[in-house]
Chain A
Amino acid sequence: MNWGHVRIVAGTDLRRLFKSKDYWIPLVIMAGLFFVIIPLLVLTMLGRLEQTGFVTQVTDIVGRLPAQVTDAARGETATARAGYIAAVFLLAPIAIIVPVTISAAVGSNVIVGERERGTGEFLAHSPITMRELYVGKLIASLVPGFLATIVGFSAYALVVNLTVGASIGTWFFPTAGWVMLIVWVIPPFIAAALAVILRISARVKSAAAAQQASSLVTLPVIILSYGVSATVVIAPGRSAFAIGAIAWIVAIALAARGASKMKRERLLGVASET
């Protein structure tokens, strides 16, 4: 494997993406909505509804949550504890929805896009191996998702500490579960989804078809990760580590399979041309 080839493919794709504002601005807006706006609204509202019946309802819901959750909740008042639980446990899945969606949006187009633009012709006649191309494209699709995770997570931490942290009396975020989620569990979930999406991108005839098909992959990954992320945040111990390890193994296996199945002729529109 020529890593110089991998680096230039990934770097070129990222440079193109960075220059395509009409492509990444909606993704940034989506990330801002899920990581900042919605948490800010939810957590601010929770902190300001102390004198209403809503707090009673929230307290009632909190009381029915698993003991692991209620025991972990910090804060002196019911509102503070509700805010803590919402910030740490209920909003956890957004940490995976956003990066998976962003990476899928980028990844679905990376190979079929080469064919549609005609740049696949150059790559097909170049000495780059299909394994190098696949890995380069995979990295180029992973980076926006990872970047969204890191930046979004940092922004989310700030929102949580400024809203809920004030009522608890200390900045408490990120918790160990969230760190485990961000560093160990989310990356392989994104990688696994992308490994499949890139194979789809190599096989379908148009970018529109690739986006449609990739949503079929993204949805189950999001549903699965929703459950997984809640587990990891509640109990960031050995089982959470094992979940991440299994996800890494699956992701690497899918990526290896995808790289081996990549065909040079898929970069060409060969079906109708002679």
Chain B
Amino acid sequence: MNQAIHFGSVSKAFGSVHAVEALDFDAPVGAVTVLLGPNGAGKTTTVRLTTGALVADRGDIEVLGLHPKVDGDEVRSRVGIVPPKPAFYDQLTGWENLRFAARIFGADEHAALDAAERFVIQDALTQEVGGYSTGMRTRLALARAVIHDPQVLLLDEPTAGLDPESARNVLDLIREMAARGRTIVLCTHLLHEAEGIADHIVLMNKGHAQASGAPAELAGRYLADPVVVFDAEDRTRLRDLADRPGVLSVVENGSVHATLEDLDRLPDLVAELVLDGVRLTRVEPLEPTLEELYFEMQRSHRKSAK
């Protein structure tokens, strides 16, 4: 089983609204898969279909080799979830809420306490949750999500409205869980959130997956021409860079950004510049940001739709 989650031509409608339409994607085991898309793309419905909280109208869903429609309780006992706006019983204390979750998921109280300590919320457990700040609620939600040590963790817009420290807690959790071989699915429309942690990206729009793959694979597909940043002690010596073989274009923006036909051309280009007496201070292939990749993918799909 290489895929922790498999969606095959899955559709789900609410009346005339098609929340998910022929959605295909896979989330590899032990990887961080990011469902990237604007609001209304179908990300929340996808999460709900994954746990079997919603049942698909059509298509095939497998989670850890199980079918949520048939083995829903088994699937849900192996999956943890952090919803966009974590809700609790506000009249109860943090500890009472955690203990409730622990018992529902068959975990013991030690696990609940460990989870609370992991997210540094243990000192607030005797307070009623109604008095918690947004950050505290999120930390409690994170603790609740991992109380049963889930094999798959689903995070649906987990940093929405959070302060930077709480947002970092979320991203740290993702990295930590991934390092332990857990499968993570992160739904977000915030590109910076997914930057650097995504092993696999699924670009969603209007209920279906427009593209999916590893960031480098997608960058290769959508941002074909590599960009390299050059700088030199005497920057004027780089002015003729655009005339050299294999260089498509040059933009001076603080340093010099050169678009190459192929990254394999770079060693020769550097050797030529050195032979010409250019004293280089910086040569750095530019990794495309997720933002650049996202907008390029969107542009490409709009173009092909026309």
Contact = CB atoms under 8 A, between A and B. Distances in A.
B53 A268 contact: yes
A11 to B, nearest CB: 9
Contacts of A118: 83, 85-87
A19 to B, nearest CB: 4
B44 interface: yes
A262 interface: no
A126 B207 contact: no
Contact of A124 (B48, B85, B88): B48
A123 B55 CA distance: 16
Contacts of B55: 265
Q: Which residue among B15, B74, B103 has the maximum number of chain A CB atoms within 10 Å of its CB?
A: B103
A12 B89 contact: yes
Contacts of A267: 53
A274 B53 CA distance: 13
B53 A264 contact: yes
B33 interface: no
B96 A127 contact: no
Nearest to A263: B55
Contacts of B144: 122
Interface string B254-276: 00000000000000000000000
A16 B91 contact: yes
B40 interface: yes
A129 interface: yes
A144 to B, nearest CB: 15
A20 B89 CA distance: 11
B73 interface: yes
Given A19-B92, A117-B87, A125 B53 contact: yes
Contact of B104 (A8, A271, A274): A8
B42 interface: yes
B105 interface: yes
B96 A273 contact: no
Given A15-B92, A15-B96, A122 B53 contact: no
A119 interface: yes
B87 A119 contact: yes
A19 B91 contact: yes
Nearest to B13: A274
B73 A129 contact: yes
B92 A12 contact: yes
A8 B53 contact: no
Given A4-B103, A8-B103, A271-B14, A125 B88 contact: no
Contacts of B92: 12, 15-16, 19
Contact of B17 (A8, A122, A268, A274): A274
Nearest to A119: B87
Q: Which residue among B19, B79, B89 has the maximum number of chain A CB atoms within 10 Å of its CB?
A: B89
A125 B73 contact: no
A16 B17 contact: no
B305 to A, nearest CB: 20
B76 A274 contact: no
Interface in A203-260: none
A121 B87 contact: yes
7 contacts: A8-B104, A12-B96, A16-B89, A125-B76, A127-B105, A268-B48, A273-B44
By Cβ-Cβ distance, the 9 closest A-B pairs, closest first, are A118-B87, A274-B19, A124-B53, A127-B77, A19-B91, A8-B103, A127-B76, A127-B73, A125-B51
Interface of B: 14-15, 17, 19-20, 40-42, 44-45, 48, 51-55, 72-74, 76-77, 79, 81, 83, 85-92, 96, 100-101, 103-106, 144, 207
Given A12-B89, A268-B54, 11 more contacts: A5-B103, A8-B103, A117-B90, A122-B81, A122-B87, A124-B53, A125-B53, A128-B104, A129-B73, A265-B53, A271-B14
